[in-house]
Amino acid sequence: MPDTEPLLAENGTINAQQDDVEAKPEEAEEEFDGANVFMHQAIHTIEYCLGCISNTASYLRLWALSLAHAQLSEVLWVMVMHNSFKNTNYVGSVIMVFVFAFFAILTISILLIMEGLSAFLHALRLHWVEFQNKFYSGAGYKLSPFAFASLISFSSTN
């Protein structure tokens, strides 16, 4: 059964230090393989095109949410508030108070929550869709997360 516990460094943490990352030994230079280079470029081209389609679809989802927001606000105005303007007498003004309260409740419960959802989706899209394919590359380097302890130990050695 393999050992599943993480390897601890000398300072007792699982964080990789600069010294822990092993340099790869010099390898013999390989011959140029045109088919291999072509396949690599084809794979990267396909990944790039799929990333562009994914980014476009992500923006289209936000655009659809924005259109739905605009249409819902128009429907609320026309179907709820606009009908209350037909009565111009005193009874109509009393009815308008209740209609406005209903309109305000619907506006807050539907449109403002939807706007918050839009902001959340935009932030999520920026983190996952844009960040993942622009900055992350699984190059096989050991993770060396930021830690204040490494700064303290580095400053005490200098």
pLDDT tens-digit profile of 88-108?
788 888 888 888 888 888 888
Asked if residue 100 lies in contact with residue 152, where contact means CB atoms within 8 angstroms, the answer is no
> What is the token pair recorded at 65?
């949410």
Q: Judge if pTM exceeds 0.75.
A: no
Buried b or exposed e, range 21-46, using 16+ CB within 10 angstroms: eeeeeeeeeeeeeeeeeeeeeeeeee
Residues of the chain with pLDDT under 70: 1-28, 129, 133-139, 141, 154, 158
3-state helix, strand, coil in the chain (%, to 5): 65, 0, 35
